[in-house]
Amino acid sequence: MNYRHAYHAGNFADVVKHAALALILEYLKRKDSAFRVIDTHSGIGIYDLAGDEAQRTGEWHAGIGRLLDADLSPGATALLAPYLEAVAAVKGLVKPTAYPGSPAIAQHLTRDQDRMIFVEKHPRDAQTLKDTMAGDERIKVIELDGWTALKAYIPPPERRGVVLIDPPFEVPDEFDALARNVVKAYRKWPTGIYAVWYPLKNKTASDLFRQTMSDSGIPRMLCVEMRVREEQDRGLFSGSGLMLINPPFVLAEQMGQLLPELLSILKQAAGSGWSVTWLTPS
């Protein structure tokens, strides 16, 4: 994907991923006990949609740009409220063209007792993230390979929380590494929530990934996907998926309600669609 997230911040895939993350965090807050957020491929935390990278692709116009201009139903408004609250907060605190990555969304939606670990391998991006999160004692930013961090920081002391895994897909075997490392992490911490992001740009590869995960023996896996155009094998970024392990019991219904409306706003070409499927029920 030639992936640096500054080029893709705020696109349609971010909208789905960040809306789901916000709903997971809201669910975790239903209990008073503390939880941990672990983000293995964090990026820089906050992006400037007026910056050079975002302007080169303009992807945000067909993502958060469309969503902010949309006339939403009451149901979608309620489900998107935590996510859009975080977007508005970052715009207000930083500047009107700012967009929150997953670390900033987690920072905004968590409580005093919750803790966060944000991992970024790229030295410059890791330093930017450290600067952005400076002063928040709940947060630890670590410059480290995401897969190494996944081994090192699971299970967390809190025993409750969510792991967001959003690799860059810059190397050919990224799907293999993703499946292998997620299965290992689950075996170490089988009660955690895992939100695993993957692109839909090669139908053969994404079909194989779903099958590999289904064959892993992990129970309670929910597959959430949205395509803004038909998925083929030509390498065209057509949509994105979230493989959710141990999702909140309400999340399947929430995403099933939300995705049709998001698709009506974000679709780009023929062959678009969405699905919320239990890959392996409990």
Cα radius of gyration (the chain): 17
DSSP-derived letter for residue 232 is -
Integer Cα distance of 133 and 39 in angstroms: 14
Sign of CA dihedral 152, 24, 173, 46: negative
Q: 106 with 21: CB under 8 angstroms?
A: yes
> Going by C-beta distance under 8 Å and a sequence separation of 6 or more, which residues neighbour residue 145?
121
Map residue 240 onto helix, strand or coil: strand
Integer Cα distance of 11 and 5 in angstroms: 10
Sign of CA dihedral 249, 254, 257, 262: negative
C-alpha separations of 239 from 12, 119, 196, 232 in Å = 8, 25, 14, 11
Q: 244 with 222: CB under 8 angstroms?
A: yes
- What is the amino acid identity at position 30? R
Integer Cα distance of 259 and 266 in angstroms: 10
The yes-or-no answer on residue 166 being catalytic is yes
List the catalytic residue out of 52, 166, 215, 233: 166
User: Alpha helix locations (H) across 153-225?
Assistant: 174-188, 203-214
Q: How far apart are the first and last CA of the chain?
A: 34
Active site amino acids: 166
